[in-house]
A = this chain, B = another copy of it.
Amino acid sequence: MAKDKTHTIVIDAMGGDYAPEIPVRAALAALKEWSDIAITLVGRADKLNPLLSPNPRITVVNASDVITNDESPVMALRRKPDASLSVALKLLREGQADALVSAGSTGAVMAGAMFKVERIEGVARPALAVLIPTLGTPCLLLDAGANADITPDILQSFAVMGDVYAKNVMGIKEPRVALVNIGEEAEKGSNLTKEAHKLLAAVGQPFRFVGNVEGRGIPLGECDVAVCDGFTGNVFLKTMEGVSKAIFTKLKTGLSSSFKGKLGGLLAQDTFRGLKKELSPDEVGGALMLGVNRVVVKAHGNSNERAYLNAIKQAYNMEKAQVVGKITDAMPKAQTL
């Protein structure tokens, strides 16, 4: 890519709880922030145009339909070619955009990236990656739910993709890549993880495989990239959410049961709020699809302007860092056993 290339980001302006207002406002903020981007907003032109003033860096592409959270993702993509996400995916596939951001249905964005965008050669399955808040720096977990059933070589390709992302977007020189497993010894685990452990150990420098990580070690910050099948990753993610919620609920109930507690809670309020925010997976950024030949970022459905702008920033950073090209280069490193 030439240095002065304009990066075109297509935005599914009808996806998410606060569409189209939030996607539009975040898009305008992004244009102010970065001079080398252009934005294509996809959605109902009659709703989008009133929110915009003429701007040569914004294009509106009309799409009359929208995919909702309660539809079957694959069916919806098939049945609704004129949904905002379907049209955005088409523009992306055709090369009319470099990156896509959507706050719509996670399933539909995942399925769209998997079936409507081309895969990078050597990638059997694209993975959904999310940043997990930890006691240290955030950890990239993949797969977070795109592939429930996989084979050891697919797990290995996830690890290589995660390593590229950590190095180039997170800026970690030698990311600690770990295999999510039960038990710390190499010979522990399921048939899948036992085989995958061997494949990961075989990748070699400059890929830094640090062995197994248990569910406990991820929030404690023991690795920079945690690799697992999508079933395990999703259980991890949802457990993290549920446990945080349970703890804060219990804290609230406990503190409100006495005067001393109430006072303590009031004084500790700033810390509670900050922590709640810090520990929420919602706050760290969008989820990414890795393994397809375009950048696809899924913003949270309930993103506010700042969160949505963060998702655009993530897409922009991935584009600037040429993550797709670097994953393409790295793929032959996988499957070396």
List residues of chain A with CB under 8 Å of any chain B CB.
134-135, 145, 148-149, 180, 182, 189-191, 193, 214-220, 229-232, 234-247, 249-251, 254-255, 257-258, 260-261, 263-272, 274-275, 278-279
Contact = CB atoms under 8 A, between A and B. Distances in A.
Contacts of A268: 255, 261, 264-265, 268
B271 A254 contact: yes
Name A's interface SS: helix
Given A148-B190, A214-B238, A235-B180, A246 B261 contact: no
A264 B261 contact: no
Contacts of A237: 215
A247 to B, nearest CB: 6
Nearest to A242: B216
B234 A215 contact: yes
Select the residue from A215, A232, A243, A255 with max chain B CB neighbours within 10 A: A243
Contacts of A236: 215, 235, 239
A306 to B, nearest CB: 21
Given A135-B246, A247-B279, A239 B218 contact: yes
A250 B232 contact: no
Contacts of A261: 267-268, 270-271
A246 B271 contact: no
A221 to B, nearest CB: 8
Contacts of A272: 251
B216 A241 contact: yes
- How many monomers of this chain does the complex have? 2
Contacts of A254: 271, 274-275
A334 B270 CA distance: 52
A245 B220 contact: yes
A264 to B, nearest CB: 3
Nearest to A243: B243
A230 B135 CA distance: 27
Given A148-B189, A182-B238, A251-B271, 13 more contacts: A148-B191, A180-B235, A189-B231, A214-B235, A215-B237, A216-B238, A219-B245, A250-B275, A251-B272, A264-B267, A264-B269, A264-B271, A267-B267
A275 B247 contact: yes
12 contacts: A190-B231, A214-B238, A215-B235, A215-B239, A232-B232, A239-B243, A243-B247, A250-B278, A254-B271, A255-B268, A261-B267, A264-B269
Contacts of A249: 135
A249 B272 CA distance: 12
Select the residue from A216, A232, A244, A246 with max chain B CB neighbours within 10 A: A246
Contacts of A235: 180, 182, 214-215, 232, 235-236, 239
Contacts of A189: 148, 231
A246 B279 CA distance: 9
B231 A216 contact: no
Contacts of A148: 182, 189-191, 193
Nearest to A254: B271
5 nearest A-B residue pairs (beta carbon): A264-B267, A264-B268, A215-B239, A215-B238, A216-B242
